[in-house]
Amino acid sequence: MSSSLINELITLSIMGSALGLDAFSVGLGMGVIQLKFKQIIHIGIVIGLFHVIMPLLGMIIGYELSENLGRFAVLLGGLLLMGIGFHMIYSTLFGKEENKYSPTGVGLLLFAFSVSVDSFSVGISLGTFGAKTWLTILLFGIISTILTWAGLLLGRRVEQELGKFGELLGGSFLLIFGIKLLFFS
């Protein structure tokens, strides 16, 4: 293996970890809603796939997109996370048990999109620098899947210890992360 390939692997792994930490953080918040192990596996895979698709789209489109579209995607992701966080908090405080947010179907797709939009912007940048496409998206997908699983499992453990307060904490975490995306990124 050449030293340039090793350097690129290291760089892309660090970038993939940075992008995957979003999924880990949000997974902590989402993990408190009593997910089954099968759901955790499924959510991690879907988020991992989004961390493959989004940078791939970004790399394909590359420099042809304006910076405003990249910022718009981050804003949309922030709004989605805030909405999920508000819903979790509201459902915990005022809703019935069956009305709580469940990351399935369209909800899961919106959730996966919201935590992977930053990888779209990174893909645009990497596309302009000629990064190795398949290596990039494979690393991003694997790393984000593993970090999502870790966040969801840790969040599940927090919920077991904290009960209903854990879900309030998780919803608050998603809400704060959405605000961070909207105003501080």
pLDDT tens-digit series, residues 33-54: 878 899 999 999 999 999 999 9
In angstroms, the Cα distances linking 181 to 16, 44, 47, 57, 154 are 18, 21, 18, 21, 23
- Domain containing 161 equals 3-183
CA-only gyration radius of the chain, Å:
17
Looking at the predicted structure, is the pLDDT value of residue 66 above 50?
A: no
Q: In the prediction, which pLDDT does 116 show?
A: 84
Average pLDDT along the chain: 79
Looking at the predicted structure, is the pLDDT value of residue 101 above 60?
A: no
Q: In the prediction, which pLDDT does 97 show?
A: 53
Place of tokens 């904490």: 169
* Of the candidate ranges 60-69, 151-160, 167-176, the one whose mean pLDDT is the lowest: 60-69
Higher pLDDT: 64 or 15? It is: 15
Q: In the prediction, which pLDDT does 64 show?
A: 57
Q: Provide the domain count of the chain.
A: 1
**What whole-number distance in Å separates Cα of residue 120 and Cα of residue 91?**
31
Q: pLDDT tens digit string along 103-129?
A: 778 888 988 888 887 788 777 767 666
Helices 105-129 + 133-162 axis angle, to 10:
140
Could you tell me which of 180, 172, 60, 33 has the C-alpha nearest to residue 115?
180
Q: In the prediction, which pLDDT does 41 show?
A: 95
Prediction pTM value:
0.72
**What whole-number distance in Å separates Cα of residue 93 and Cα of residue 80?**
20
Encoding tokens for residue 21?
Answer: 């930490």
